[in-house]
Structure 1
């Protein structure tokens, strides 16, 4: 499989690169050959060539640079998304996929418009540990992570990644976290997200294999340490 890591030099808040490391390592532990290509500003890219795309978080300045660069390639990205490309977008990368970002002054900065949601500046940062109940591969699980964002995201009927059990999620108001569309998964959870939640990592791997027409029955790995860490955090947050 081939992984596209978009703008790793600009979008890597809170160790978001760890999501790519986790995806790749869990593939290699199973004997799956994986290559990672890092795409930076002005680098040529054909999204249809990839099996997994990762977009991390960054500051407002970095996001504005990226929005202009990625906007020139949005048709290629949209076609790949509609064709089932597996995408994980975190925080700022999540916001970029939406319709717009509304500043405190009311100015709307256009996003890529790939997904039907919008983000507006909040009057306080939403910071802290988060627990989210999500349906992954047909079964409910609790995802854990850490959020730190000033923007508040609102879904226009789009399916969320999950329901907030602890923390703020998309906006601290409606109890929703992240967004899902086809094989696109968006979230505000850093941590990074995938090492903390191997069940989600394996689901993304299975979806990528399915899209390639390869069997999706993954050989089991020893996740006892990861599961203990997840349960410890859930117990700390939920009691």
Structure 2
């Protein structure tokens, strides 16, 4: 078994060590004897996206998202939408998550049209939502509690047919209003969680890997790993978040 990963826009979308999510996915696959290759795809570069099984898009600032508009319009955006519709797996973080929606409207009312691969939109606001936070995954994504770090001024509102990735336990999540965090649509996992998020949340990592393996092979064979250190890190951070210590 083998998965082919595509790291989209690594040169501009990599806030708060988001690239660590790639390293985590690679390591958890290799420890199970599953082959993995990762290909970075930068602005101006083109390749056939249908050869990949799993895509990662990290976080970025508003300016960096705007820089990507021309590249997406060159044809890459259409290929990303096709990959989503074909059931390929995506993990998209913060700015990369926002990019999967229809548009981002700034505080000044300037609208940046994005991919429209998932039915949601984002609106900028004056107050930033920034802190360590926790949320519980939906049952379809494993049901575990995720810890992470959010820092965004955009408020994301999910549209019809799009389910939240999870429910906020402490923090703001999508918009600080409806208790939702992230999105799950087809095999797209969108979240505001930086950190990187996957090393301290192995259940979420395995849910993402399983979706890619099932899409490619019709089944997922993920043997249990020794996650003692990952769980210690997770539980320590979760306790501090829920107690208001960080």
> For residues 181-228 of structure 1, what are the alpha-carbon distances to aligned partners after superposition, in whole Å with 9 as ceiling and x for unaligned?
000000000011111111011111111111111531311110011112
- Within-5 A mapping of 1:118-129: 118-129=121-132
For 1:148, which of 148, 151, 154 is the aligned residue?
151
> 2:46 aligns to what?
44
Partner-residue secondary structure (3-state), 2:143: strand
**3-state secondary structure, aligned to 2:208:** helix
Shift of 1:145: 0.2
In 1, distance between residues paired with 2:111 and 2:45? 28
User: Equivalent residues in 2 for 1:47-66 (5 A)?
Assistant: 47-66=49-68
CA-to-aligned-CA distance 1:49-101 (integer Å, 9 cap, x gap): 10110000112221111122123322221121111101000000011111111
Instruction: Note the aligned Cα RMSD (angstroms).
Output: 1.3
Asked if 1 retains the 8 angstrom alpha-carbon contact of 2:8 and 2:57, the reply is: yes
Partner of residue 32 from structure 1, selected from 34, 41, 45 = 34
Structure 2 CA distance for partners of 1:82 and 1:189, relative to 1, 3 Å:
same
TM-score normalised by length of structure 1: 0.96
Offset at residue 119 of structure 1 (A): 0.7
Give the corresponding residue for 2:207: 203
Map 1:87-102 → 2, pairs under 5 A: 87-102=90-105
Q: Distance in 1 between matches of 2:200 and 2:173?
A: 17
1:133 corresponds to which residue? Answer: 136
Deviation at 1:107, TM superposition (A): 2.2
Unmatched segments (≥5 aa) in structure 2: none
TM-score by length of 2: 0.93
Contact 2:144 2:204 in 1 (8 A): no
Instruction: Please state whether the residue corresponding to 2:138 is helix, strand or coil.
Output: strand
Structure 1 residue 75 corresponds to structure 2 residue 71: no
Cα offsets for 1:92-140 (capped at 9, x unmatched): 0011111111111222211111111111111111000110011255642
- Among 3, 18, 24, the alignment partner of 2:5 is 3
